[in-house]
Structures are given as structure tokens and as C-alpha cells.
């Protein structure tokens, strides 16, 4: 339960992205759980408890006028993407979207069922998985990191796309550099560092 002293406690205040499409009657966030005080407090919440939300903040948001989009995403950086993809699919928008989603293992892929469902229903949304740590069982998944050749293979026309990069800061910096080297205009690159991973 939230109380006034929690407001100033940095350990109990974290940035979280909305992970459900706008327009729902509830707000949803998704936290990758850890042993932190914040995660402990989340685990202890009961229905009816009060929490304090501040925001929304940030400017990495979907704009329907971006006709061709690519998401290059690591780990829990998927949270804003699932919200955007749900929105695009529910509204039947025809934006051409390719998601390349990196995790250590297939087991770590968050929202996999939802992503596969959206990709199967929408001809304009393609979802590709890549894992770093072990050979994938599934053919929809390749092995490796999001590096130049992996991006070139998954998104041949990356230079024509607005590219969103969300994930741990080290990964975001590396992918940003790769995209610039591949000729993506800097104005088309939109990044968000998920600090804490």
C-alpha cells in the first residue's frame, strides 16, 4: 500500500512503460521482477491497494504518419511496443511494421503469445525473434545479437523506416551506432534507455 513517505523513496519509484493499448478501461504496466525493494513491494500488493502514478512522460510514441516502422528491441524494452502493436492491430491501421526482438533465451521472450497472435492476424506487422545464449528450437527465431548483418537480414529496407530502439542502455547505444553506420537518418532514430538492466 502506498503511503506518503514512499513518494520520496527513490528505491520505490521506477519508470515503467504502459503495456496495453490506449483506450482500455484500465492502465497496465509490466515489471521484470527482481530482488529489489520495488519488486518486493509490487509482489505484496493486494487488490484494492492504492499506488501513485506520475506521468505520462517520454516522447518515443507512435505516430500514424510514420508509414514504415522498425522496432529493434531488447528484453523488457518490449513493453511500449506491445501497447503500440495492439493499438495498430485493433484499429486495423496499415502501417508497415517489422519488430526484431532480442532476448537471451526463448523462455525470456515476453508477450510471445500476444506478439504471435498480432503477427498472424495482421499482414502488415512482422515479428522476428533473436536469442543470444542458446540455439533456438523454433524456426521463427534466429541466434545471435542485433548487429549489422542481423538487422540487414531482418529489415532490408531499414533506411526507409522510422526506427525505435528500446532496451538496456548498452544495447541501445550499440544498435544506434549500427543503424547510423547503415545509413538510417539520425532524425528517424528514436531511442529509450531502460536504465536498471
Residue numbers at the binding site for ligand FAD (CB under 6 A)? 14-17, 29-32, 34, 36, 38-39, 58, 76, 79, 192-196
Nearer to ligand FAD among residue 83 and residue 158 (C-beta): 83
- Our measurement of the distance from residue 121's CA atom to the centroid of its chain's CA atoms, rounded to an integer in Å, reads 20
Nearer to ligand FAD among residue 20 and residue 182 (C-beta): 20
CA dist 107 and 91 (Å) reads 30
All three cell numbers of 120, joined, read 498472424
Nearer to ligand FAD among residue 41 and residue 128 (C-beta): 41
CB of 156 to ligand FAD, least distance (A): 29
125 φ/ψ sector (left φ>0, alpha ψ -120 to 50, else beta): beta
CA dist 104 and 144 (Å) reads 9
CB of 196 to ligand FAD, least distance (A): 2
CB of 103 to ligand FAD, least distance (A): 14
Nearer to ligand FAD among residue 16 and residue 182 (C-beta): 16
* 3 state DSSP class of 107: helix
CB of 195 to ligand FAD, least distance (A): 4
Containing H/E element for 97?
strand 96-103
Amino acid at each position: 500500500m502506498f503511503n506518503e513517505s514512499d513518494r520520496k523513496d527513490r528505491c520505490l519509484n521506477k519508470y515503467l512503460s504502459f503495456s496495453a493499448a490506449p483506450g482500455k478501461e484500465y492502465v497496465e504496466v509490466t515489471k521484470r521482477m527482481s530482488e529489489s525493494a520495488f519488486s518486493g513491494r509490487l509482489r505484496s500488493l493486494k487488490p484494492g491497494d492504492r499506488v501513485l502514478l506520475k506521468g505520462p512522460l517520454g516522447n518515443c510514441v507512435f505516430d500514424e504518419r510514420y508509414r514504415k516502422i522498425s522496432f529493434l528491441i531488447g528484453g523488457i524494452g518490449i513493453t511500449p511496443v506491445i501497447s503500440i502493436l495492439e493499438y495498430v492491430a485493433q484499429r486495423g491501421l496499415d502501417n508497415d511494421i517489422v519488430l526484431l526482438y532480442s532476448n537471451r533465451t526463448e523462455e525470456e521472450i515476453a508477450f510471445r503469445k500476444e506478439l504471435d497472435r498480432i503477427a498472424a492476424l495482421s499482414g502488415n506487422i512482422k515479428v522476428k525473434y533473436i536469442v543470444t545464449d542458446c540455439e533456438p528450437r523454433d524456426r521463427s527465431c534466429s541466434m545471435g545479437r542485433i548487429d549489422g548483418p542481423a538487422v540487414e537480414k531482418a529489415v532490408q529496407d531499414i533506411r526507409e523506416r522510422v526506427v525505435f530502439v528500446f532496451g538496456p542502455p548498452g544495447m541501445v547505444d550499440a544498435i544506434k551506432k549500427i543503424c547510423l553506420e547503415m545509413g538510417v537518418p539520425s532524425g528517424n532514430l528514436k531511442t529509450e534507455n531502460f536504465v536498471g538492466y
